[in-house]
Amino acid sequence: MWVLDAVHRDGISLWVKGKKKGAGVSCTNHPFIPSFSFTLPEDRESSNLIAGLEDHFSIEETKIKTINESFSGYRIEAPRQVADIIEKETNYQSKLYNVDIRGEQRFFAERNTVPCCSDINERFSVTTDFPLSVITLKIPQSFFDKKPINKLFFKQNETEAGDITGTEPEVLSSLFALIGELNPDVILMPSADLWLPEILNRAKRYDLEDSFSRNGKYRRIMGHSYWSYGKVEYRGAAYVPDGRIVIDTAQSFTYREGGLPGVLLCSRLAGLSPNYVSRFTPGTLISGYEVYEAVRRGLAIPYRKDEPEKERLYCDIRTSDRGGMMFKPVANIYENVYQIDFTSMYPSIIVNYNLSPETLTKPGIKGFLPQVLEPVLNLRKETKLRKKEDPSVSGIDSILKWLLVVCFGYTGFKNAKFGHIGVHEAITRHSRDILIHSKEIAEVEGFLIIHGIVDCLWVKGKPVSLLKKRIEEYAKIPTEIEEYNWIVFLPQKDGTGSYTRYFGRLTSSEIKKRGVLSRRNDTPDYVRNAQNDLFEAMRSAVSINELFYLSPVLREIYEKKREEVYSQSHENLLITRKVSTIKYRHRCAEASAIAKYNDHGIFIKPGMEIQYIVSDHKKWEVEIDIGEGEPDYEFYKKILDKAWEEIDFALRKAGLNENMGE
Amino acid sequence: MRFHLHPLITIETGLFHAIISPGEIILESINNSNEFQRFLFLYISGNYSSLLTGINRNVGHFYVQRAFTAFQLLSILREAHHTIIFLEHDPSLFDGDGSSSLHEVARALKHAAKEAAVILYSRADNKTFRYLSNSADRVFYFIPQLKYQDHKHESGHSKVEKQYFDKSQAKLII
């Protein structure tokens, strides 16, 4: 049974796809009554509460098994609201389990099945072949223009593509007819989450019957701002149609990284509909996967995270909670450098050292986290190898990489169901040991350490293959080597080397760059393209000396680009920023842009992206309408100058190198 | 039992105290007071602490527990057995689902103060702090006095260059 979509309303509706390509979709309904487990404090009031609950719900005594222990409790067939009442009635002294698990996910896990594959054994497979029909839609105008939709593009495959034009009712009517006729399983559409509610509203106005949903029903995901890795993000609201996968290709992180195979893999791992996984963050996905695995193994999942860490002396906390290890580089240019990169270091540590909340107190047992992460880690190792020969696996590899990256951070996340700060600290402790010991191995082998950060070392010396072998033997984690002809570590403001800003030429002739202006999201295309052109020119230099002799050519490119600012289109000067707040104390470009958006009836929330062109940087005046006003060219020249400074630093250091005759 | 958190503030076991003040005042008290070293002192922080990194290494012999959720905070308060319990308020604990437990946390603070000196501390006033401090026995507000550096410009106009907190001029309202 290949389940395309699953919906929990009164029961569970499964949208099942026929096995062959082009086969139809059918819907089957299954009874499902939500239930949860709980324990109560031992007092007379608890007996009264049980008696009261028995009058309204089916309730039975049961054994509750968590990752830590087993104990007696109750199981009740009741909705979540009842759990909240029990909590309040017991002054938060009751313990509740399996309250907030999605119905369809629990349905799959309890039956040991998953969506998006016909056989549970294919769950961890690297398959990119699916029995799905896919169409792509695109509305060639900005959603925020609020103009009638007079044109849209569609594409079913390479040969069947076209556009629909006409008045808005004609376009919408034709769109619904097209969807009805082609009956696609998947609709890929940029900004679908913005457009779909609008299309449905406008269709209602014209008395048109839409065909996005296969039964006319939709689920609604509410929009909200949230914190992620110290940044405010915004997840927009969405309408999710029943029985058909609609992916917002502009917003979906999972689709952007993994494509459709990546989305379907996440569905199989987490036991959730592709409609949801395409809208979830990697953190929610890895959490979903852990929840699915726990339910499948009959483990109860706590509703509230109320188990605190043990009290510790302050001086002990200072030494135990220190994060990843870093060796600071000296800002300079270096020749013939190797980068040794540990593959999935943190998840490997979880698995190798059996780190899980329950193993902190019972180290002898096999922990829940290592058990569930091991197959994902093995799958990543496989995709990392396979993608070199089969590029279609790259998407799956990329999404697995992200799931494994966030699984570490998730252990320290306050609401993580299977997180524990002790596990988080143990992981970083082991990672520090591994990096320090690897550095020592390298030094014993005669290598010079240039830089090191968390799971990476930059070294100079030979033979690197022997060093790789020694480090892997010690750490029991695979590594990857990249070889640079030359590499530049840029300075921080105080002149010392930056940990994360560097660029260099790999022996494959590719320029690898991190943290430079062209990599930043808020850099206008004009500056990004100019710096990328400079990097492109630098590719021809295979040594520091050759780079030095390129200086006049590079400076000429820079000066030419500086003059070209006046001929740039407004699109190339657009600055895109994600706002973390909408309340600003001082005047700045973001505050001016937000005010302008408000004037246009677009209300910005923290985590949303805004775009603007700076028209006067002294007064922080901006334009949000492309084509309006005159850009402040001097402002854009200054950004270009900063991009040039990064290149110029390398050239100056190369010059010193040349003068010293190295 | 009585302790001095500040020359102007005496805290007592059996009472729940709520304090709003600049961090410098609390840090100075913790770093320089012997009293916190002599008794069982529990420092409870939330997801982020603005004070902990400012505490000297040589006074690090007190206990710390970090509450990452309101429910963990409840468990910590219910199990605490210390003479002084210092809670650095973190409003983010009460975002989302945590908001439902605010009333219970206020009760737990009051309950813990039956046997300990409980101090709820915040740098700034906010909605959740106000709710919790409603059940406090004593509330202290330090009003920072800002000093202004006045510079005369060539034009003769005066411009405020900088504002900074002057600890010695802090005013206390009880």
Residue A392 belongs to domain with CATH number: 3.90.1600.10
Instruction: Give the pair of three-digit tokens for residue A91.
Output: 């002054």
Q: Which of B36, B72, B92 to mutate to test the interface with A (most CBs of A within 10 A)?
A: B72
pLDDT of residue A600 exceeding 90, the answer is: no
Q: CA-to-CA distance for A529 and A574, rounded, in angstroms?
A: 13
B72:A308 CB<8 A: yes
pLDDT of residue B21 exceeding 50, the answer is: yes
pLDDT for A456: 95
Q: CA-to-CA distance for A631 and B29, rounded, in angstroms?
A: 54
A89 with A162, same domain? Answer: no
pLDDT for A465: 95
**B64 contacts in chain A (CB < 8 Å):** 311-314, 317
Q: What is the pLDDT of residues B62-97, one digit of tens each?
A: 899 999 999 999 999 999 999 999 999 999 999 888
Domain boundary among A110, A143, A163: A110
A313:B63 CB<8 A: yes
pLDDT of residue B140 exceeding 60, the answer is: yes
A305:B60 CB<8 A: no
pLDDT of residue A42 exceeding 90, the answer is: no
pLDDT for A635: 96
Q: CA-to-CA distance for A178 and A160, rounded, in angstroms?
A: 12
A487 with A357, same domain? Answer: yes
With CA atoms as reference, report the closest residue to A213 among A227, A203, A205: A203
Q: How deeply is A626 buried, as exposed, middle or buried, from its count of CB atoms within 10 A (0-12, 13-18, 19+)?
A: middle
Q: What is the pLDDT of residues A619-633, one digit of tens each?
A: 999 998 877 789 999
Q: H or E stretch including A169? A: helix A168-182
With CA atoms as reference, report the closest residue to A124 among A384, A376, A374: A376
CA distance A412 to chain B (A): 9
pLDDT for A609: 85
Across the range B143-152, mean pLDDT stands at 56
Amino acid at A651: L
Q: What is the pLDDT of residues A633-647, one digit of tens each?
A: 999 999 999 999 999
Look at residue A620 and tell me if it is in a domain: no
Q: What is the pLDDT of residues A99-146, one digit of tens each?
A: 999 999 999 999 999 999 988 888 998 877 788 899 999 999 888 777
Q: What share of chain A is helix, strand, coil (3-state, %, to 5)?
A: 40, 25, 35
A202 with A242, same domain? Answer: yes
Nearest to B104 among A91, A305, A414 (CB): A91
**B73 contacts in chain A (CB < 8 Å):** 308
Instruction: Write down the mean pLDDT value for chain A.
Output: 92
Rg (chain B; Cα; Å): 18
Look at residue A482 and tell me if it is in a domain: yes
Output phi, psi for A55, to 5 deg. -65, -25
CA atoms within 13 A on the CB side of A478: 10
Across the range A499-514, mean pLDDT stands at 96
Q: Which residue has the higher pLDDT, A11 or B172?
A: A11
Q: CA-to-CA distance for B42 and B46, rounded, in angstroms?
A: 13
Across the range A382-409, mean pLDDT stands at 92
pLDDT for A660: 60
CATH number for the domain spanning A149: value is 3.30.420.10
Domains observed in chain B: 2-144 (3.40.50.300)
pLDDT for A3: 95
Look at residue A521 and tell me if it is in a domain: no
A104 with A135, same domain? Answer: no
Which contacts qualify for A156-161: CB closer than 8 Å, 24 or more apart?
Answer: A156/A182, A156/A184
A312:B64 CB<8 A: yes
pLDDT for B174: 56
- Among A229-233, A391-395, B149-153, the range scoring the smallest mean pLDDT is B149-153
The conformation of residue A302, written as its DSSP 8-state character, comes to: B
A147 with A213, same domain? Answer: yes
CA distance A286 to chain B (A): 20
pLDDT bracket for residue A160 (50, 70, 90): confident
pLDDT of residue A374 exceeding 80, the answer is: yes
State ipTM: 0.80
Q: CA-to-CA distance for B89 and B99, rounded, in angstroms?
A: 14
pLDDT bracket for residue B158 (50, 70, 90): very low
Kindly identify which residue of chain A lies nearest to residue B46, measuring between CA atoms.
A414
Q: What is the pLDDT of residues A433-461, one digit of tens each?
A: 999 999 999 999 999 999 999 999 999 99
Instruction: Give the pair of three-digit tokens for residue A428.
Output: 């970083």
Nearest to B66 among A88, A306, A421 (CB): A421
A383 with A500, same domain? Answer: yes
Domain boundary among A241, A257, A273: A257
Across the range A473-486, mean pLDDT stands at 96
A96 with A137, same domain? Answer: no
**A41 contacts in chain B (CB < 8 Å):** none
A103 with A136, same domain? Answer: no
CA distance A586 to chain B (A): 14
pLDDT for A343: 93
Look at residue A464 and tell me if it is in a domain: yes
pLDDT for A537: 97
Across the range A506-522, mean pLDDT stands at 96
**A87 contacts in chain B (CB < 8 Å):** 100
Look at residue A609 and tell me if it is in a domain: no
Q: Quick one: CA dihedral A345, A351, A357, A363, positive or negative?
A: negative
pLDDT for A231: 66
Q: CA-to-CA distance for A193 and A207, rounded, in angstroms?
A: 22
H-helix segments, chain B:
23-32, 35-38, 70-79, 102-112, 127-133
pLDDT of residue B161 exceeding 50, the answer is: no
pLDDT bracket for residue A255 (50, 70, 90): very high
pLDDT for B156: 47
Across the range A355-362, mean pLDDT stands at 93
Nearest to B66 among A87, A307, A309 (CB): A309
A183 with A87, same domain? Answer: no
pLDDT for B172: 56
Task: Give the neighbor-by-neighbor strand order of the sheet with A245-248.
Answer: A161-165, A151-155, A134-138, A186-189, A245-248
Tell me the three-class secondary structure of A232-243, residue by residue. EEEECCEEEECC
B66:A310 CB<8 A: no
Quickly tell me which residue has 């002739």 as its tokens: A509
Instruction: Give the pair of three-digit tokens for residue A475.
Output: 């750490």
Nearest to B76 among A308, A313, A415 (CB): A308
A222 touches chain B (CB under 8 A): no
Domain that holds residue A362: 320-515
A342 with A436, same domain? Answer: yes
Q: What is the pLDDT of residues A314-324, one digit of tens each?
A: 888 777 767 78
Q: H or E stretch including A248? A: strand A245-248
With CA atoms as reference, report the closest residue to A612 among A573, A657, A581: A573
Look at residue A39 and tell me if it is in a domain: yes
Look at residue A504 and tell me if it is in a domain: yes
A221 with A330, same domain? Answer: no
A327 with A367, same domain? Answer: yes
Quick one: what percent of chain A has pLDDT higher than 70?
97
A224 touches chain B (CB under 8 A): no
**A226 contacts in chain B (CB < 8 Å):** none
Q: CA-to-CA distance for A393 and A128, rounded, in angstroms?
A: 7
Degrees to nearest 5, angle at CA A111 with A106 and A117: 95
Q: CA-to-CA distance for A246 and A196, rounded, in angstroms?
A: 9
Look at residue A121 and tell me if it is in a domain: no
pLDDT of residue A232 exceeding 90, the answer is: no
CATH number for the domain spanning A18: value is 3.30.342.10
Count how many pairs of residues, chain A against chain B, have C-beta atoms within 8 Å: 65
Q: Which residue has the higher pLDDT, A266 or B32?
A: A266
* Domains: count for chain A: 3
Q: How deeply is A559 buried, as exposed, middle or buried, from its count of CB atoms within 10 A (0-12, 13-18, 19+)?
A: exposed
Instruction: Tell me if A342 sits within 8 A of A405, measured CB to CB.
Output: no
Domain boundary among A238, A257, A276: A257
**B47 contacts in chain A (CB < 8 Å):** 414
Q: What is the pLDDT of residues A184-214, one digit of tens each?
A: 999 999 999 989 999 999 999 999 999 999 9
